[in-house]
Amino acid sequence: MQITVNGHPHHVSPEPGERLLTVLRDQLYLTGAKYGCGHGECGTCTVLIDDRLAYACITLAESCEGSAITTVEGLADGATLSSLQRAFIAHDAAQCGYCTPGQLVAATKLLATNAKPDEGAIRTAMSGNLCRCGTYPKIISAIQAVARGEFRLAEAAAAPPDGGSASARDANAP
Give the residues lining the site for ligand FES (CB under 6 A): 35-38, 40-45, 55, 57, 94-100, 131-133, 135
Which residue number, 93 or 166, has a Cβ lying nearer to ligand FES?
A: 93
Those residues with Cβ within 8 angstroms of residue 69's Cβ, 6 or more apart along the chain or in another chain:
3, 4, 5, 6, 20, 24, 47, 48, 49
CB of 165 to ligand FES, least distance (A): 31
- What 3-state class would DSSP assign to 80? strand
Which residue number, 59 or 170, has a Cβ lying nearer to ligand FES?
A: 59
SS (H, E, C) 87-128: HHHHCCCCCCCCCHHHHHHHHHHHHHHCCCCCHHHHHHHCCC
d(CA 82, CA 170): 8
CB of 89 to ligand FES, least distance (A): 13
CB of 171 to ligand FES, least distance (A): 30
CB of 21 to ligand FES, least distance (A): 7
